[in-house]
Amino acid sequence: MNPPTSTYLYGAHVHANGIRQHYLRYGGERAGRDAVIVIPGITSPAATWGFVAERLGRQFDTYVLDVRGRGLTSSGPDLDYGLDAQAADVIALAQALGLTRYALVGHSMGGRIAVRAASRAPQGLTRQVIVDPPVSGPGRRAYPANLAWYVDSIRQATHGMSAEDMRAFCPTWTDEQRALRAQWLHTCFEPAIVQSFEDFGRDDIHANLPAVTVPLLLMTAERGGVVGDDDVAEWQTLAPQTQHVRVPDAGHMIPWDNEAGFHAALGDFLGAKVA
Q: Is residue 114 part of a domain?
A: yes
CA 206 to CA 158: how far, in whole Å?
Answer: 35
Q: Is residue 222 part of a domain?
A: yes
pLDDT of residue 3: 55
pLDDT of residue 202: 97
**pLDDT (tens digit, 9 = 90+) per residue, 10-64?**
999 999 999 999 999 999 999 889 999 999 999 999 999 999 999 999 999 999 9
Is the model's pTM score more than 0.95?
yes
Helices 190-199, 147-159: crossing angle, 10 deg rounding: 170
Where residue 256 falls among pLDDT bands split at 50, 70, 90?
A: very high
- Stretch 144-159: mean pLDDT: 96
**pLDDT (tens digit, 9 = 90+) per residue, 55-96?**
999 999 999 999 999 999 999 999 999 999 999 999 999 999
Q: Is the dihedral of CA 259, 40, 252, 108 positive or negative?
A: negative
Number of domains in the chain: 1
pLDDT of residue 2: 54
Q: State which residues form the domain around 15.
A: 8-266
Q: Is residue 273 part of a domain?
A: no
CA 227 to CA 242: how far, in whole Å?
Answer: 14
pLDDT of residue 31: 85
User: Which strand (E) or helix (H) includes residue 217?
Assistant: strand 216-221
Which residue type sits at 67?
V
User: Is the confidence at residue 242, as pLDDT, over 60?
Assistant: yes
Where residue 106 falls among pLDDT bands split at 50, 70, 90?
A: very high
User: Is the confidence at residue 1, as pLDDT, over 60?
Assistant: no
Instruction: Please tell me the chain's helix, strand, coil percentages from 3-state DSSP, rounded to the nearest 5.
Output: 40, 20, 45
Q: Is residue 258 part of a domain?
A: yes
228-236 contacts at long range (C-beta below 8 A, 24 or more positions apart) = 231/135, 234/206, 235/135, 235/206, 235/209
Range from 3-17, 102-116, 227-241 carrying the lowest mean pLDDT: 3-17
Helices 83-96, 109-118: crossing angle, 10 deg rounding: 70
Q: Is residue 66 part of a domain?
A: yes
Strand ranges (E), 27-137: 35-39, 62-65, 102-107, 125-131
Q: Is residue 113 part of a domain?
A: yes
Q: Is residue 3 part of a domain?
A: no
Q: Is residue 73 part of a domain?
A: yes
Q: What is the CATH number of the domain that holds 242?
A: 3.40.50.1820
Phi, psi of 103 (to 5 degrees): -110, 155
